[in-house]
Structure formats: structure tokens, C-alpha cells
A and B are shown apart, each in its own frame.
Chain A
Amino acid sequence: MINRRVITVIKREFKEKLLSKAFIISTLLIPVFMFGILGLQTVFMSIEGDDGTNLLIVSESSEITSKLQTELADKDYVTEGKYLLTYKTVNEGSRDEIIKENKNDLLGESLTGVIYIPQDALEKKEIEYYSKNTSNISIFDNLRGPVNSILMNIYFQDKNLNEDDLVFAQRWVDFNGFKVSESDEIKEEGVGNRILSYLFTFLLYMSLLIFGSMMLRAVVEEKNNRIVEVLLSSLHAKELMTGKILGNTIVGLIQMTIWLLPVMVVISSTIFVLPPKFTIDLTMGHIGYLLFNFFVGLMTYLGLFATVGAIFDNEQDAQSGMWPIMLLIMIPFFMSFSMIKNPNNSMAMIGSMSPFASLIIMPARMTLVDVPAWQIITSMAVNIGTLSVIFPIAGKIYRVGILMTGKKPKLKEIIGWIKAKN
């Protein structure tokens, strides 16, 4: 199927795309954008929006009040002035009185909330929060630790425990992950691979979207400005489509390789030593699989985008026709992200071997768990199989659609194009 004419088209597409500003800009900006998003997420997470929080902490025990006051006094949110805390000790059962007293302030939001620590908190560890808005999780997160530690201190102080025992009792359990693999050594695993699986998922997703929409626009443009008729007087529609798709896929592969270059350098050389927390456990085989998988997958997707472009003769209509493909890209994208929490779930396994989804999910999954060889081979076979089913169908629709102008074809007609003998 690849002949002189297809190669001519490939050359044109390749040259046009590779030298385009869009290519250079996206190659440089996507990684910047990606890390930008990660950074922004961190920034947004750190903005808790609880500046100017004004809390009244009421306790039924003067011991709790004074200890809590000492404990909280040197917390960042107090010293930085984000939280304004006032303390009060009351007699047991004064809850209603306190709330009544402060009701207007609470409703007027000059007082953010009242934290009420009853005497029995020392047994039940239950405290109460009164506010107009009780879903302010960051307040709970900030106060839970200190309050817990005060309650524990008071509870254990009569039980003859020394300081070390208390420190031990208050410590959280830490899970340290050790990855067991075919090889003999057992490595302590950092977050490096998790970051990589985010990276792979995101890059594959962006690349599909960018190249897909470029392909769509190019086909609609060719159809619109009628150059396609000149081209078809020289070559077959399938040759034109194949050339366009291959040209763009090669450019996509080059871009993906550039993006992954830093990863390849890190895993294949010892020049860069990452801090242990970020160590990457990955082989060049993974990268090789990712690129192969991407090549096949991008061809499949570009076939779909070219088909949609050929069906519609203006960009607005084409955008609406693009949605089914967008779902095919977005669903695996989200599946992949949810998988990062639990790579062994069965949805991830099925997704990583399903048509269309495998492209995005498998590379991320491979960085997280040891995927058995048969699954990798299955996913390759599925990808190649999908391509070989999609390509001829796309070719048929493309061939008829590309010369159709005027009214939008109905689904029935498009199915007719596929069924047509030629």
C-alpha cells in the first residue's frame, strides 16, 4: 500500500508539520504546561481559603483549655494570623447557653465557628463544631491533630507512661512500599514511577488531542478549498489518507520521543542521580513499548479523526462529530488516573488490553506494576487488530465523504458507504 505517491504525501505532511510553529511550540510548551498544572494544583491545594478564621474554643475543663492554648499557640496558622482563636472554659452542660450567646455572631459570620469540647471528650473523643458552614474541612484537618494529642496527654498522664511511650502511641503508621519483581533484588520504591505514570498518561492524552484535531482541521480544509479534487486526480483517496496519517504519525512519534528523552537519559545512564524518593524503576523496554503502542494507536485515532473530517464540510459540524472520538480518548485518560491509586484493580487490567483504551492505560500500568508478558502481547495484538479493522473502514468513509459537499450525510448513508463494494 505504500508506494511513490504515498511517500510523496508523507514527505509533504512531515515537512509541513515538523517545521510548523505549532509543532515547535507544542513540543516545548506541553511539558511546561504539564508541570505548570502540577505546580498550580499544589498551589491551589495549599490555599485553604481559611484566612480570617475566627474561632471560639470552648471547653468544659480548664486543663484542656490551657493545654490546648499552649499547643496551638505556635502553629503556623495562628502565628501567621490566619486563625484568630479565643478560649473559654465553662461549666459542664453550658453548651446551649454558649451557642445562644454567640448565635448572632455566627450568623453574621463575624465568628466562624464555635468548637465545643465536652468533658466526655476524654472518653469518647468526640467534639462538636457549631458554624454556619460546617463543611470547612481544612479547619478540622488543622485542629484534629493538636486536639487529639492534648486529649491523649491528659488521658495517659495518670497511667504511668513515660514520654517515649506517649510519642510512640501518637505516631502514625507509615507504609513503605517494596517492589517484588522477577529479579532477585527487592527495591524500596519511591514515588518516581507514580510520577512517571502520570506523565505518560498526560503526554499520550495531549498528543492524541493535538494531532487528532490538527488532522481533523487539515481534512476539512482540504475538502473545503477543493484541493482534494486536484489531489484525487493524481492518486487514490486511500493513498492520500494513508500518506496523511503516516506523515502525521511519524511527526507525533518524533515529538513523543523528544518528550521522553529526559526519562530515557535518566534510566539509561548513571549521570543523573535522583534522590531515593524519586528513583525510577523502568527499562528501555517500557519506553520502547510505549512508543510502539503510541505509533499504532495514533494511526488508529488519526484514521478516526480523518474520517470525521471527511464526513463534514465545515469545522463547526466536524467539532460536534468529534465527540465520540473524544470520549474514546477521555474515558481511558480518567481510567488511567484512577488506576494510579490502585494499579491492580481489574478495570485497569481490562482497560489496558481493550481497543482504544490500551494506548493510554497500558504504559501507565506498566510503570506501576509488573505486567505479565502475555498481557503486553495481548495489548499489542489488540492495538494492531484495532488498527487493521478501523483503517479500511475509515478509508471507505473517507473516500466517499471527501468529495461530498452540501448537506450533512445521515448515519444510514455513511453505513451505506462502508457497505459499498468499492
Chain B
Amino acid sequence: MNALQVKNLTKRFDNVVAVNSANFEVPEDTIFGLIGRNGAGKTTTIRMMMNIYLPDEGEVIFRGNKVGQEFKDRVGYLPEERGLYKKMKVIDTLNYLAELKGKSGKAVTKKAYEYLERFDLKDRANSKLEELSKGNQQKVQFISTILHDPEFIILDEPFSGLDPINTNLLKEIILDMKKEKKVIIFSTHLMDFAEKMCDHIAMIDNGKIILSGALKEIKQKYSQNNVSLNYTGDISFLDSLPFVEKVENFGNTTGIRVKSNDDTQNLLRALLDHNVIVNKFDANEISLHEIFVSLAGTEVEAVEKEVKK
């Protein structure tokens, strides 16, 4: 069952197509990652999913109906650029944002104090936001995202600008939410992170969804006949081997695609025969980063593509 279904979503700004007929699904009980480079269209997509932006075309379906207020009430949103009212007291801020979601009363205030205690902020409840350090302001913002007990949590580039302590804190929150079977949607340009956290992903590049689905299936599909290699030595001879289809340098690792599954053994043998020192040889393994680069090119290539246009 899909919690959210994004259908043909398109948004233009001044004739620039920010999101170009995007299609993907977010299933129930998952951590969903929207992955792409900066400026690929992630924030615009997320804003349309929450009905902050109206799409020029397409729609977002939430459990069978178009997204609207009902969805907004059930979502907790942490935007990439964070901010709260500077002159408002911490506890007032938390109560106000929860009340906008339809949750008010003593129970909410009590819960707010519980969170503040958990995040070591209990003694700051009556301080103004501007009196808090930046890290503590971020903590207050995390609490405001989850205080109303949302079913959905949408985090836009959640780790940008966080210190290591808050990064861990946020990870903890995400995992807690996962345990509680909430749907977590986040956007990120950090592939490693997405790979570790997500069940489902959608990759976006230049406003277009270039790949989406369950991470496991995607990796299976792309890892067939793929070898991920770390080595020292010269591997230029590989290009002349008949069973090697493609050699790609991803920086940290080199990805090699062979013609059939049996050829992986031949590849290893050939490497050893040519005195290449093999540090890591991972058959049927491919990283999300590798998939992304093979689909969208590296950052450098993307810039070149852009220039050619």
C-alpha cells in the first residue's frame, strides 16, 4: 500500500523547469529517500508534496485523495533552512506550532517538557529562542517537528548545518520514528547516508526522476555482473579483455561490469595474473553512489553537460 503517490508532478519558475513530470511512490512503513544533487529539484518536490507549492501539472495522492489540509495536520516538517521566531519563548513556540497542527492543551505541554528534558533543554523552556545557541535552537526545531506526534515526517536535507551531536540526535529520532512505524521521507545529497537509512528511494536529477523503487531491488538489478574493486597497480589492460563490458572510476572504488556472472572469477584471475594488488573485490555489489554516477554522471560531467546546453 502506498502512503503517497506522486503523479506527473511538474513545476516551472520563470520558464525554468524545476521539476519535470516526476512519478514515484512512498509506501507505508518505510524510510524514503529523495536523492539528488543540490539544485536537482528536491526541495521543490517536497514543497509540492506538502501542498506548500501548487504544482503546474500533476498531483500528489495521499491514501487515495489529493493532499490537502488532512495531510498537513499529520506531517512533521523540518525544512533545510531552519528558523523560528527569535523573540518567542521555547515552550510558547512548541505549543504554538503544535496548536497549528490541531494539538493543544496540557498533554502537549507536558510532552514538550518531556522532550526538552530528553534534549537537555528543560531549564531553557522559558528562554527566548534568540538566547539559545544555534545547536540548541536546532534541537527545539526537532522537537517542534515531532511534538504533535505526526504519522509522516518530512526532512529536507536534515543533516546540513548540524554539529556531530545533533546529527546523532536526529539519527536517533529517525530510528525511533521508524520503530513506531511512521513514514519518514527525507531528501539528501549524501548517498552513503541514504544507503544506510532508506528502504525506498527516488533519484532526481535536473528535475527528472531517473530511478525509483525499493533500494534492495534497485541494488540487485544494478549489481548483476558488477564488481566493485579497490586496488593498487595498473588495470588499463582490462579494456582489451573480451568479457569486460565497462570500467568506471568512481573515485574511491572502480566499478567493472562483466558479460556474465561466471566472468567475475575470470576477472579476478586476470587481475592477479597482471600483478594488480587487490584490496577489495566485491562481486554483485554496487553502491548507491555508483548507481547514481552511472545514471547521472559525476558532478564534473553534469557541469559540462550544463555548459554544452
By a beta-carbon cutoff of 8 Å, the part of chain A in contact with chain B is 4-5, 8-9, 12, 16, 224-227, 229-236, 403, 413, 422
Contact = CB atoms under 8 A, between A and B. Distances in A.
Given A5-B100, A236-B69, 15 more contacts: A224-B83, A225-B84, A225-B86, A226-B82, A230-B79, A230-B84, A230-B141, A231-B100, A233-B50, A233-B72, A233-B75, A233-B77, A234-B73, A234-B101, A236-B51
24 contacts: A5-B100, A8-B100, A12-B96, A224-B83, A225-B84, A226-B79, A226-B82, A227-B83, A229-B77, A229-B79, A230-B84, A230-B97, A230-B141, A233-B52, A233-B77, A233-B79, A234-B72, A234-B73, A234-B97, A234-B101, A235-B72, A236-B69, A403-B47, A422-B54
A413 B15 CA distance: 12
B186 to A, nearest CB: 14
B100 A234 contact: yes
Given A12-B96, A226-B83, A232 B101 contact: no
Interface in B78-135: 79, 81-88, 96-97, 99-102
Nearest to B156: A229
B273 interface: no
Nearest to B14: A413
Contacts of B14: 413
A234 B99 CA distance: 10
A9 B154 CA distance: 23
Q: Is the interface of B mostly helix, strand, loop or mixed?
A: loop
Nearest to B50: A233
Contacts of B53: 403
B100 A229 contact: no
B188 interface: no
A9 B101 CA distance: 12
Interface in B42-63: 47, 50-54
B225 interface: no
B71 to A, nearest CB: 10
Contacts of A229: 52, 77, 79, 81
B30 interface: no
Contacts of B88: 16
B40 to A, nearest CB: 18
The 5 A-B pairs with the shortest beta carbon distances in the complex, nearest first, are A233-B77, A225-B83, A226-B83, A234-B100, A229-B79
A233 B69 CA distance: 9
Contacts of A16: 87-88
Contacts of B82: 226, 230
Best-buried of A227, A234, A413 by chain B (most CB within 10 Å): A234
A5 B96 CA distance: 10
A8 B99 contact: yes
Nearest to A9: B100
A230 B54 contact: no
Interface string B200-244: 000000000000000000000000000000000000000000000
B239 to A, nearest CB: 46
Nearest to B96: A12
Contacts of A227: 83-85
B81 A230 contact: no
A11 to B, nearest CB: 8
B138 interface: no
A231 B144 CA distance: 11
Contacts of A413: 14
Contacts of B69: 235-236
Contacts of B87: 16
Contacts of B85: 225, 227
B198 to A, nearest CB: 21
A226 B129 CA distance: 14
B83 A232 contact: no
Contacts of A236: 51, 69
Nearest to B68: A236
Nearest to A232: B52
A403 B52 contact: yes
